[in-house]
Amino acid sequence: MSVIAKQMTYKVYMSGTVNGHYFEVEGDGKGKPYEGEQTVRLTVTKGGPLPFAWDILSPQSQYGSIPFTKYPEDIPDYVKQSFPEGYTWERIMNFEDGAVCTVSNDSSIQGNCFIYHVKFSGLNFPPNGPVMQKKTQGWEPNTERLFARDGMLIGNNFMALKLEGGGHYLCEFKSTYK
């Protein structure tokens, strides 16, 4: 029997740095894990206002909230099966201009609430680039490819941030789910 209810809440506790600027973010979310629906409200609790585009943080609490992913019945949902023990994930985000983010998430469950502890480090964002100039306008839709390897799930996807005035800022995501 699954410990995951049809409706769940979640809490996000994120801390980290971007180009040396320390910040903390907390959030409360809710959703329907078996239907692929979720919403979250995030608040900067330390280090605000952020001197960089919020968009680089958003995948860690939406795309990073994979217990809310809806799977077809014929595909095993390894993440939901990991509870009540929980799981961790690590991600490297390589941007086209050489900027890099490393992210880790330790996910657990308390009652009907997922708890996410996220550590974030962003380096080498150019001062005149779209992230530090806050010229991004959200991510284009995408799909992550997942496959099993050595008892873990490996995720790989290419994402694109929309830019003010047109164009895109490209990023490759490499994730490992344990």
- Residue 60 is predicted with a pLDDT of 86
Alpha helices (H) along the chain? 78-81
Structure tokens given for 166 = 């047109």
Provide mean pLDDT across the span 107-112: 96
Sorted by sequence, the CB contacts under 8 Å of residue 20 that are 6+ apart come out as: none
Structure tokens given for 28 = 């409360």
Sorted by sequence, the CB contacts under 8 Å of residue 139 that are 6+ apart come out as: 55, 58, 59, 159, 160, 161, 162
* Residue 64 predicted with pLDDT over 70: no
- Residue 65 is predicted with a pLDDT of 83
For 111, list phi and psi in degrees, rounded to 5.
65, -125
Rg (CA), the chain: 16
For 79, list phi and psi in degrees, rounded to 5.
-65, -50
Give the residues across from 122 on adjacent strands.
Answer: 18, 101
Strands (DSSP E) contained in 50-112 are 87-95, 100-110
**What is the pLDDT confidence band of residue 10, given thresholds at 50, 70 and 90?**
very high
pTM exceeds 0.85: yes
- Residue 2 is predicted with a pLDDT of 78
Residues counted in the chain = 178
Instruction: Please state, rounded to an integer, the average pLDDT across all residues of the chain.
Output: 95
* Residue 162 predicted with pLDDT over 80: yes
CA distance 139 to 36: 18
* Residue 75 predicted with pLDDT over 90: no
Provide mean pLDDT across the span 15-26: 99
